[in-house]
Amino acid sequence: MILDGKAPTGKIQDSWDKHKIDSLKLVNPANKRKYKVLVVGTGLAGASAAASLGELGYQVEAFCYQDSPRRAHSIAAQGGINAAKAYPNDGDSVYRLFYDTIKGGDFRAREADVWRLAQVSNNIIDQCVAQGVPFARDYAGYLDNRSFGGAQVSRTFFARGQTGQQLLLGAYSALSRQIGAGTVKMFARTEMLDLVVVDGEAKGITVRDLVTGEVRSHVGDAVVLATGGYVNVFYLSTNAMGCSVSAIWKAHKKGAYLANPCYTQIHPTCIPQTGDYQSKLTLMSESLRNDGRIWVPKKKEDCGKAPSEIPEDDRDYYLERKYPSFGNLAPRDIASRAAKEQCDEGRGVGPGGRGVYLDFSASIARLGEGTIRERYGNLFEMYERITDENAYQRPMRIYPAPHYSMGGLWVDYNLQSNIPGLFVLGEANFSVHGANRLGASALMQGLADGYFVIPFTIANYLAQTKPGKVKADHPEMLKSIAEVKAERDRMLSINGKKTVTEFMREVGVLMWNNVGMARSEQSLNETLQKIPAIREEFWKNVKVTGSGDELNQQLENAGRTSDFIDFAELLSRDALHRQESCGGHFRVEHQYPDGEAKRDDANFAYSAAWEFKGTGKAPELHQEPLKFENVHLAVRSYK
């Protein structure tokens, strides 16, 4: 089937404003309180959406699995948030941010969505400043900017190394204000385990109270999923331990299309792994690349030496060599792959030869240690806490790690999935980043969707639906509760020999090795062969202790792991079908002689939206063709 994203036509500069007037219906203020909206996830997208919708007068119920909405993983974003303010007078504009995002995404995103993102980016900064977000300022009191990978202008706003935290706390404060005012009801420590679809429309969710174990349904007139990304499918990633694919996977199983799951981003500047016991990888802001130079020894035999013993001439600053104009600021996918290449050639450093140096000595010599400390002090501290090494004296060791998922549930221009009434925001949807996301754009998207898109587009749906159509005792609600309980009981009854973590590690390591930074037909086929066996063993041999009627973290993880196993299959299938390299998806069969990704616009200039056809069965592919009318399709070059 050919999917239609329902993007507005006509001049792209006017598309969003015109769309709001021509195509989006409004809900009368007095009627808003009759509608109930369920918002799942309280990161940047979820918290800003719940706060904004509550403020507008809708009854909102918000859910998060953490003990507080303030802990969603948006909080871990360090570097900054982009906006086309053009304060530094360096030639930025909405068009340039739009263009950079399309190009950075390797021409695999819908133009109109990206334009809207760039357009509202400026409102986000204003909104956050008004909330009391302490953005960095210069001595005259104006907002400060820094540059970031994939852009030649300085358009990134930041709050020390904790921009995500500060933006999330801003959204959390807006959400808290609405909770205090009674317009939003907050359900923390509550995990969504099913989407309830009634007569083809999303009308509720089934959740498990993680403290009491109670399984219950919530009905709503619309459901908003803002449940983040799925790169924990690789087991080790920079995501929080609780980040999972479960919410969108459950929705997918109920009919929502999952688009471009193979577009996963590997972040180039993470602290390398030290051992098998490791539970997660720690990211350090990409902003480090502004002042750090990346290198590996030219000679393999130097890899074991202390970095200070390797003379300048024997160091290979490979990013500066390969990409002279962007240098160390090449986009994430390119920088990550380049690091992997060096290590594959046997020139990696540190444990297992899986690391490259990020060296600040030149910047320290140029700017002084004080300046570097002021810019990155907290990151250097963090690095030392984890590695016990002082990066002022010895270059950091970094290695790429799974970080972000560009793919997600398919949505139209209104952020509505193919199931009416189901809206998907932030990282959970597939919309704006194409095949690769630029640094400092995730925060931008989350807040754009939540503050400035969903309040308009959800009204259009609600205006055309009768409030309170479905009641809590609807057969579909009861069926959903019964299904969730049945799956829970099944997991608890197996009492096998392998722990949940062992299964997650097994599928994760398989995915990282075969479907990680580079993918081949052979590695993907092998993965697709192995996953059904892992699934089968999981349902025969998993060991989950305790019961369902209590706080049971094993049970929570078992559910998430089971969904990851199923999802890993879809991700691999998508990667196998996309016989091209683009952005975060690198197929070794499709590359230029110099190792650059080779896109195939003739055959793959579309988004691949998959329809669930049953566990273990082949999903059905739907295509949404991508049309580029405002940018010129070109080979992405950062040389």
Question: Is there binding between residue 123 and other proteins (CB under 8 A)?
Answer: yes
Residue 23 found at the interface with other proteins (CB under 8 A) = no
Q: Which x/- pattern over 538-557 shows residues binding other proteins (rule: CB under 8 A)?
A: -----x-xx---xx-xx---
Alpha carbons within 13 angstroms on the beta-carbon side of residue 54 total 26
- Please report whether residue 186 would count as binding other proteins according to CB under 8 A: yes
* 26 contributes a contact to other proteins by CB under 8 A: no
In angstroms, the CA 367 to CA 388 distance is 25
139 lies in the binding site for other proteins (CB under 8 A): yes
Decide if residue 10 touches other proteins (CB under 8 A).
no
CB of 451: closest distance to other proteins in angstroms?
A: 5
Query: How many of the chain's residues bind other proteins (CB under 8 A)?
Result: 91
Nearest approach, Cβ of 116 to other proteins (angstroms)?
15
Q: Which of residues 392-431 bind other proteins (CB under 8 A)?
A: none
Q: In this structure, what DSSP letter does residue 290 have?
A: G
Task: Return d(Cα 138, Cα 275) in angstroms, integer.
Answer: 43
The interface region with other proteins, picked from 73-81, 304-312, 434-442, 582-590 by CB under 8 A, is 73-81
Interface residue with other proteins, options 147, 154, 176, 514 (CB under 8 A)? 176
Q: How far is the CB of 319 from other proteins (least distance, A)?
A: 25
Please tell me whether residue 34 binds other proteins under the rule CB under 8 A.
Answer: no
Q: Does 71 bind other proteins (CB under 8 A)?
A: yes
Among 160, 185, 253, 299, binds other proteins (CB under 8 A): 160
Cβ-based nearer residue to other proteins, 50 or 571: 50
From 22, 91, 180, 593, residue interacting with other proteins (rule: CB under 8 A)? 180
User: DSSP letters of 42-94?
Assistant: -SHHHHHHHHHHHHHT-EEEEE-SSSSGGGSGGGG--S-EE----TT-SS--H
DSSP secondary structure letters along 362-415: HHHHHH-HHHHHHHHHHHHHHHHHHH---TTTS-EEEEEEEEEE--EE---TTS
Residue 59 touches other proteins, criterion: CB under 8 A? no
Contact between 381 and other proteins (CB under 8 A)? yes
Site string for other proteins, 256-295 (x = CB under 8 A): -----------------xxxxxxxx-xx------------
**Pick 509 or 631: Cβ nearer other proteins:** 509
To the nearest whole angstrom, how small is the minimum distance from the Cβ of residue 143 to other proteins?
5
Q: Please report whether residue 179 would count as binding other proteins according to CB under 8 A.
A: yes
Site for other proteins in 317-376 (CB under 8 A): 350-352
| Site for other proteins, residues 429 to 488, rule: CB under 8 A | 451-452, 455
Q: Please identify, using beta-carbon distances, which residue of 385 and 617 lies nearer to other proteins.
A: 385
Residue 512 burial (CB count, 10 A):
18
Instruction: In angstroms, give the least distance from the CB of 555 to other proteins.
Output: 11
Q: Taking CB under 8 A as the rule, does residue 132 contact other proteins? A: yes
Shortest gap between Cβ of 630 and other proteins (angstroms)? 26
DSSP code of residue 437: P
If one asks whether residue 52 binds other proteins (CB under 8 A), the answer comes out as yes
Q: Which is nearer to other proteins, 41 or 105 (CB)?
A: 41
**Which of the residues 208 through 237 are near other proteins (CB under 8 A)?**
211
Q: Exactly one of 87, 99, 539, 628 binds other proteins (CB under 8 A); which one?
A: 87
Q: Is 67 a binder of other proteins (CB under 8 A)?
A: yes
* Cα–Cα–Cα angle for 368, 370, 375, rounded to 5 degrees: 105
Under the binding rule (CB under 8 A), the answer on residue 177 touching other proteins is: yes
Stretch that binds other proteins, among 166-174, 299-307, 341-349, 569-577 (CB under 8 A): 166-174
Tell which positions 484-543 bind other proteins, by CB under 8 A.
497, 499, 501-502, 543
Alpha-carbon Rg of the chain, whole angstroms? 24
Residue 94 near residue 444, CB atoms below 8 Å: no
Neighbouring C-alpha atoms within 13 Å toward the C-beta of 612: 19
Q: Rounded to an integer, what distance in angstroms lies between the CA atom of residue 271 and that of residue 250?
A: 33
Ranges within 577-596 binding other proteins (CB under 8 A): none
Q: Token match 């969707």: residue?
A: 449
| Contact of 92 with 85, CB cutoff 8 Å | yes
Binding mask 140-159 for other proteins (x = CB under 8 A): xxxx-------------x-x
Nearer to other proteins, 142 or 592 (CB): 142
Q: Collapse the DSSP code of 194 into the 3-class scheme (helix H, G, I; strand E, B; otherwise coil) and give the result.
A: strand
Q: Residue 276 or 629: which CB sits closer to other proteins?
A: 276
> CA-to-CA distance for 178 and 51, rounded, in angstroms?
6
Name residue 184's beta-bridge partners. Answer: 60
- The nearest distance, CB 572 to other proteins, in angstroms, is 23
Identified binder of other proteins from the candidate list 68, 390, 464, 603, rule CB under 8 A: 68
57 touches other proteins (CB under 8 A) = yes
Task: Say how many C-beta atoms besides its own lie within 10 A of residue 554's C-beta.
Answer: 17
Q: How far are the Cα atoms of 101, 120, 417, 625, 631 from residue 115, in angstroms, in the given order? A: 9, 9, 20, 18, 11
CB of 189 to other proteins, least distance (A): 8
| Minimum CB distance to other proteins, residue 544 (Å) | 8
- What's the CA gap between 429 and 408, in Å, rounded? 4
Strands (E), 442-488: none
For 277, residues 6+ apart whose C-beta sits below 8 A from its C-beta are: none
188 near other proteins (CB under 8 A): yes
Q: What's the Cα-to-Cα distance from 582 to each of 14, 52, 237, 618, 628, rounded to whole Å?
A: 29, 36, 21, 24, 16
When asked if residue 242 is in the footprint of other proteins (CB under 8 A), the reply is yes
Q: Directed axis angle between helix 111-131 and helix 94-104, to 10°?
A: 120
Tell me the helix, strand and coil percentages in the chain, rounded to 5: 45, 15, 40
CB atoms within 10 A of CB 464: 10
Q: Within positions 193 to 212, which residues make up the interface with other proteins, using CB under 8 A?
A: 211
Which residue in the set 1, 26, 130, 618 belongs to the binding site for other proteins (CB under 8 A)?
130
The answer to whether 79 and 375 have CB atoms below 8 angstroms apart is no
| C-beta neighbour count of 501 within 10 angstroms | 15
Please classify residue 199 by burial: count the beta carbons closer than 10 Å to its beta carbon, then call 0-12 exposed, 13-18 middle and 19+ buried.
exposed
